[in-house]
């Protein structure tokens, strides 16, 4: 006996994805409501969802590294870099706002700031870029501080990668040894195919976050010029200072030392 369509369904699309609850999460602050504020909220909520998925994939990646499962490592890292490419392009949707329209609600955001994105800081910490000053900044938020402190104390993605290389017989005790080991992988990719792909995906993850930062800087300057950030930061000036940060500096440095070998 088939049930009547739409009558007491065991599970619906809206129920599974919590669509009614989702649509209630965009609460504007401007009065009268600025047309562009909804877009601003949705873009940033979408970022937080992407950060959540990236953290899910990186946590899985660390587990695969610890278990010595390079195929699964590379599979999850491909998901990470694919999401990050979407994140970079997504920034430019914000540029569709009229600058004057953004200013209609921007002051309502004080003192909230993108600097306070707990999940982005988790992404930095789990990738190896740990800053105790940033950790201390979140002491006002017990939930965020607890999550970040756990990330701060646990081995990072980079730690797990170097540990795997050590188990594969590479020397990784010092920065110089790490660089030399990556040079060996880059020089002989056919001997270390899984590791070659892995280090390439790691550097792409690093590059994508740098691109996200750079495009973010340009978007902010295009919208606001050199105005100070809503959280009290220097705005574009602060954002520019983040552009040189690297998760895996040894991977970048190895490219400098790579030399072509004569054909065999």
Q: pLDDT digits over 238-262, tens only? A: 666 767 789 999 999 999 999 877 6
**pLDDT above 60: residue 232:** no
Mean pLDDT of 100-113: 73
String of DSSP letters for 188-202:
-TTTSHHHHHHHHHH
Total domains in the chain come to 1
pLDDT of residue 224: 78
The more confidently predicted of residues 156 and 223 is 156
At 5, is the pLDDT very low, low, confident or very high (cuts 50, 70, 90)?
Answer: low
**pLDDT above 60: residue 149:** yes
At 113, is the pLDDT very low, low, confident or very high (cuts 50, 70, 90)?
Answer: low
Q: pLDDT digits over 168-191, tens only? A: 999 999 999 999 999 999 999 999
pLDDT of residue 116: 82
Please report whether residue 79 resides in a domain.
yes
Residue with tokens 């800081």: 121
pLDDT of residue 228: 60
At 1, is the pLDDT very low, low, confident or very high (cuts 50, 70, 90)?
Answer: very low
Among the residue ranges 101-105, 129-133, 140-144, the one predicted with the least confidence is: 101-105
Mean pLDDT of 36-54: 94
Q: What is the CATH number of the domain that holds 87?
A: 1.20.58.480
**pLDDT above 60: residue 28:** yes
Which residues in 46-80 are b (16+ Cβ under 10 Å) and which e?
Answer: ebeebbeebbebbebbbebbeeeebeebbebbebb
pLDDT of residue 76: 98
Mean pLDDT of the chain: 89
Please report whether residue 155 resides in a domain.
yes
Please report whether residue 113 resides in a domain.
no
Which domain does 123 fall in, by range? Answer: 36-95+118-224+231-257
Please report whether residue 262 resides in a domain.
no
**pLDDT above 70: residue 263:** no
pLDDT of residue 64: 97
**pLDDT above 90: residue 216:** no
């Amino acid at each position: 006996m088939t049930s009547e369509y739409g009558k007491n369904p065991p599970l619906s699309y809206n129920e599974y994805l919590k669509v009614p609850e989702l649509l209630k999460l965009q609460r504007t602050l401007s009065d009268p409501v600025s047309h562009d504020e909804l877009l601003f909220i949705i873009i940033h909520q979408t970022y937080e969802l992407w950060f959540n998925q990236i953290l899910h994939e990186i946590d899985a990646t660390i587990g695969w590294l610890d278990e010595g499962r390079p195929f699964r490592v590379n599979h999850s890292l491909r998901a990470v870099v694919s999401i990050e490419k979407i994140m970079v392009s997504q920034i430019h949707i914000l540029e569709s706002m009229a600058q004057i329209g953004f200013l209609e609600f921007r002051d309502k955001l004080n003192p909230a700031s993108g600097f306070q994105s707990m999940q982005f800081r988790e992404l930095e910490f789990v990738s190896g870029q740990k800053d105790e000053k940033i950790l201390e900044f979140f002491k006002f938020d017990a939930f965020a501080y607890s999550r970040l402190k756990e990330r701060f104390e646990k081995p990072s993605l980079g730690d797990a990668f170097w540990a795997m290389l050590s188990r594969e017989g590479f020397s990784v005790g010092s920065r110089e040894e790490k660089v030399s080991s990556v040079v060996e992988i880059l020089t002989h990719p056919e001997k270390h195919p899984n590791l070659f792909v892995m280090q390439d995906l790691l550097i792409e993850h690093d590059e994508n976050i740098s691109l996200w930062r750079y495009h973010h800087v340009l978007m902010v300057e295009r919208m606001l010029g050199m105005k100070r950030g809503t959280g009290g930061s220097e705005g574009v000036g602060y954002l520019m200072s983040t552009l040189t940060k690297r998760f895996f500096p040894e991977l970048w440095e190895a490219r400098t030392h790579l030399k072509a070998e004569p054909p065999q």
